[in-house]
Structure 1
Amino acid sequence: MDTTVADTLIGTTIDGRYRITGRVARGGMATVYRATDERLGRDVALKIIHPSQATNVHFVDRFTDEAKTIARLSHPNVVAVYDQGRHQGLPYLVMEFVQGRTLRDVLSQRTKLSPVEAVAILEQMLAAIAAAHRAGLVHRDVKPENVLVAEAPSGGSANLVDAVVKVADFGLARAIEASTVDDSGQLMATVAYVAPELVQTGQADARTDVYSAGIVLFEMLTGRVPFDGDDPVEVAWQHVDNDVPAPSSVVPGSPVVLDKLVARATRRDPGARPTDAGALLSEVQAVRDGLGAANVETALLRQIPSRPIPADATSIVPAVPAADATAFVPPVPGGSYHQASHRPSWARLPEQGGGGPHTAPHRRSVAPSGGFFADRRRVVLASLIAVMALVIIGSTWWVTAGRYSEAPTLLAMPLAQAQAHAEEKGFEFLVGDGVYSDTIPKDSVVTQSPGAQEKIVNGDTITVNLSLGPEVHPVPDLVGVELANAKGELEGLGLKVKEGKAQYSETAAEGVVLSTNPKAGTQLKPGETVTVVLSRGRAPITIPDLTGLNINDARAQLAAKGLTSVERSKDSDEPADTVLGQSPKAGTGVEKGAEVTLDVSKGPPLVIVPDLTGQPCPQAQATLQGMNLQVQVNFNPNGTVQAQNPGGNTQVAPQSVVQLQCF
């Protein structure tokens, strides 16, 4: 039954551009469709999450991160991402459409692969994963389901040696420092391929992918995974407790060199494995070249007639090395000469040159055994075998050792010195992404690939990552930013967030940042803490306008609102006990119990009454009026001041009345 008939998305056009033509696969969280990009006229793969996952914020974020992650990995063996968007609220990715099958499909059909095919596929897998490792990412879910095998350029679907391999589903990748347990606490890896450290500690690094790749190689060679069981937890712990068996223990005759390769990649101790996919790739290339040499030798010898050579001729034939014990090609079939038409030109003997099919037998019938022609044939055959042996020995030396040398040690060298040293040794030099380091000075080499003293092809490229110095980030300016966004920005820099005591604010809405400690611009290392102070919004009590009121009235109004007055006396021409000003200002919001400071007038400054006794009364009256005092004259206004009240040198308030007794 065609299950795609009931799929309502088939036949629809997404965002007016991607017309869905069929369903490719359906997983637990998303479905992959084949679609046509009508703008560019090419087939694409469109991956859209299930509606049941749309409400899972963490999964949606992880799904969106998949696009950003793969976009960083521009590599021919990584499935490319072209676009992303949403359709009816469901996030989707537009990816490269790979015409072919998954490695799981290939293994389901073939059960197992030949060593050459397995190594050819593994080499391209590791090239893709190595690109991720150079970008600081770990795939964490390397398995046959995530390996796509495209049709071979030569056209044959069975030609896996020439097939193009692409690694998919980097959506579960994380920065190398990140944890490998998702928000639900579930292990983010398939148990059949899970590394021991994921089971024990939940932590992953590049060597975790190396382990999983080794399990995939084991399965390609044997047709089964090394550990199996009904309980996933039990299977996971078998990786912790047991070594992965040698492929030859399952498939007798499997090359010993591949046994060693699987053992190296699947060591239970991560420190005993190759450091990353690039390091394992170098070892796989050496193994591939060795397997290739064994194939060449066998193919050449298959062209040589298997006719026995007389004992007297063996002395001139150099010893041909026995085929490598790791060779996997079936032995040369025994039997008589092949017909001349079936041999390559360089293997045809003189008697096979131009005659018809019966020429050679005729000559053999007339030439006596041990005669001239027989001796000539033996000499030519022995010479040919000797030449081939030398070619094979030389070729084997070249592909396995001669063209390799050790990568120089560039670690901790400044950029200019490292480049000069690498180029002096004859290698290309490439600078990759910078990485933070607390120990290596800025612009000096932190890592190199291939690693120091590792095998590398002469003249190949050494990629280095330079130190960015200690990782520090300036505290961003977060004033006015909502708490969730402030947390996201700080945590994205590796900083911790602490909430301080919230405060009321006349201008900032509730829940936004009022201030940070340390302040914006301060340089911090990852793991350090930033305290954010949030706004509680406007306070609930509004302060009334108390200016000009008598202090007693002002106190009464504040008490009615649950506020407290704090008073400060000031000189003023205003009457005493008059409120001159207040803080906070009128209209400001405060919480209950807040203090309001009032400036209260002490009244005008006092005037000192002079001693006017003995002065003419008119003159004394004029003096007092000039001092802002009132005058009352008793008896004779034109007389002389005999007494006054208040007396001389007495302090009185302005406009006070001074009585003069004149006679």
Structure 2
Amino acid sequence: MVPGDVLASRYVLEARLGRGGMGEVWRAKRLETRERVAVKFLRDDLAADVASQKRFLREARAASAVRHPNVVEMYDVLENEGTPFLVMELLAGETLGNRLRRKGSLSPAETAAILLPVFDAVEAAHAAGIVHRDLKPENIFLARDGDAVRVRVLDFGIAKQMEKLSTPMMGEVGATTAPVGTTGAMIGTPYYMAPEQALGERDVDGRADLWSLGVILYECLSGKRPTEAATLGGVLKIIVTDGMVPLGELMPDLDPHLADEVMDLLRSDREMRASSLGALRTSLQQQQPESALLDLPYDEAAPRSVRLAALEGPRRRLWPFAAVLATAGILLGVLRGGGTATLESASRGSDQHVAQVK
């Protein structure tokens, strides 16, 4: 692909925004309307891989199934000379991950202003039968919308279609699709991954997304991830043994109801975990989110923090899952055999590339 190439007689490529472990994203222009969009391709060496194609198309189906102002919009799923590509809205702004790197932590009001729209998006996804499974700060985007900022949830690349839902927030056991990879695979980003997801259980439902939101809220309010550890085994041990420092102990001045409700999302036993966001929503609304100015830095002031969203996070590493559990020293009998853990290095050091793709 080179600038000037025309795709499916509809879009002309302008510039490549980024390339990652699984694909690349270009800025393009729709020929009929002159509107600029993001076009996403599989990498050439993965275009013929059936599993990669399935994941690629699943992202399109999942994102298209969730029509919501706070979910990135999918315009088209097309082919060009036999290669599928996705056409999505082009966003400018920054991820929540970058905002946390800039600011360290956020006030309760700013946290509420960002996360309440995410709650709406996640509830809409669950109502449509979609579990995101990879909610994290890098997949929450603060996009410029004229003079305002609109929050968008990105990257449905590992989303799971549930067969049916008993409530908008909690799915029943059983799904029409299994996780990507072999049986017992661990899919997602470990710091934000629910215990049942980390252990490769096949009946992951909407409560896994609620866990991830709990970790994100904890991090926004305190500036610390509750699952932080020096090794992957240490992260997993915290996740499955309720080993987190209670948010109220870490932040004694925080509204105790808000602190307790965040921790209710972080119970390792999902039967004991909060199954809806109702109480937490009420507490966040009491933090006066309308008073929080969601400013975005200008390019001149922070040239690497304002980016065009390529709608996916940093590159991931593959680790043998059995070795991970052995390192953690926990629950070796839960999963038998091999399997693959798809993991991400989520350090809060230097910024990512202008356009991030897997």
TM superposition score normalised by structure 2: 0.71
How has the CA–CA distance of structure 1 residues 31 and 294 changed in structure 2, closer, same or farther, with 3 Å as cutoff? closer
Matches within 5 A, 1:199-210: 199-203=198-202, 204-210=204-210
Amino acid at match of 1:183: G
CA RMSD of aligned residues (A): 2.5
Tell me how far apart the structure 2 counterparts of residues 56 and 239 of structure 1 sit (CA, whole Å). 33
CA deviation map 1:408-456 (0-9, x unaligned): xxxxxxxxxxxxxxxxxxxxxxxxxxxxxxxxxxxxxxxxxxxxxxxxx
- Partner residue in 2 for 1:36: 29
Give the whole-Å Cα distance in 1 for the aligned partners of 2:101 and 2:245. 22
CA contact (8 A) 1:180 1:202 kept: no
Shift of 1:210: 0.3
| Residue matched to 2:108 | 115
Please tell me whether the aligned partners of residues 187 and 198 of structure 2 are also in contact (alpha carbons under 8 angstroms): no
What secondary structure sits across from 2:94 in the alignment? strand
Aligned residues: 278
Q: Paired residue for 1:265?
A: 265
Structure with greater Cα Rg: 1
CA–CA separation in structure 1 for the residues paired with 2:260 and 2:250 = 14
Are 1:82 and 2:81 counterparts? no
Counterpart amino acid of residue 195 in structure 2: P
How is 1:36-435 mapped onto 2 (pairs within 5 angstroms)?
36-151=29-144, 154-155=147-148, 163-176=149-162, 177-178=174-175, 181-184=179-182, 185-203=184-202, 204-251=204-251, 253-275=253-275, 279-280=276-277, 282-292=278-288
Q: Deviations over 1:597-627 (max 9, x none)?
A: xxxxxxxxxxxxxxxxxxxxxxxxxxxxxxx
Letter of the 1:266 partner, please give it. Answer: L
Alpha carbons of structure 1 residues 15 and 257: separation in structure 2 relative to 1, 3 Å: same
Q: Contact (CA 8 Å) 2:108, 2:284: kept in 1 or not?
A: no
1:74/1:233 CA distance change after superposition, 3 Å: same
Cα 1:152–1:294, aligned 2, differ >3 Å: closer, same or farther?
A: closer
Q: Distance in 2 between matches of 1:151 and 1:294?
A: 17
Q: Deviations over 1:281-310 (max 9, x none)?
A: x223311332229989xxxxxxxxxxxxxx
Q: 1:108 to 1:55 in 2, by over 3 A?
A: same
CA distance 1:68–1:195, shift in 2 (3 Å) = same
Which blocks of at least 5 consecutive residues in structure 2 are unaligned? 163-173, 293-358
Check conservation: 1:103, 1:144, Cα contact below 8 A: yes
Structure 1 unaligned segments of length 5 or more: list them.
1-7, 156-162, 297-663
Q: Is the 8 A contact 2:118 2:152 kept in 1?
A: yes
For 2:13 and 2:231, the matched residues in 1 are separated by 39
TM-score, normalization by structure 1: 0.39
Tell whether the 8 Å contact from 2:110 to 2:289 is kept in structure 1 after alignment: no
Instruction: Verify the 8 A CA contact 1:146 1:167 in the aligned structure 2.
Output: yes
* Structure-2 change in CA distance of 1:24 and 1:251 (3 Å): farther
Superposed, 1:484-499 pairs within 5 Å as none
CA contact (8 A) 2:262 2:280 kept: no
Q: Secondary structure at the match of 1:164?
A: strand
How far does residue 216 in structure 1 lie from its aligned partner after superposition?
Answer: 0.9
Q: Aligned AA for 1:292?
A: Q
Larger RCO (CA within 8 A; separation ≥ 6): 2
CA distance in 1, matches of 2:120, 2:254: 24
Instruction: Please say if residues 19 and 38 of structure 1, whose CA atoms lie closer than 8 Å, have aligned partners that are also in contact.
Output: yes
C-alpha displacement of 1:172:
1.4
Q: Deviations over 1:306-361 (max 9, x none)?
A: xxxxxxxxxxxxxxxxxxxxxxxxxxxxxxxxxxxxxxxxxxxxxxxxxxxxxxxx
CA-CA distance at 1:153 after TM superposition: 5.3
1:175: Cα distance to partner? Answer: 2.2
* Mapping of residues 548-559 of structure 1, within 5 Å: none
Identity of aligned residues (%): 33
Asked if structure 2 preserves the Cα contact closer than 8 Å seen for 1:44 and 1:96, the reply is yes
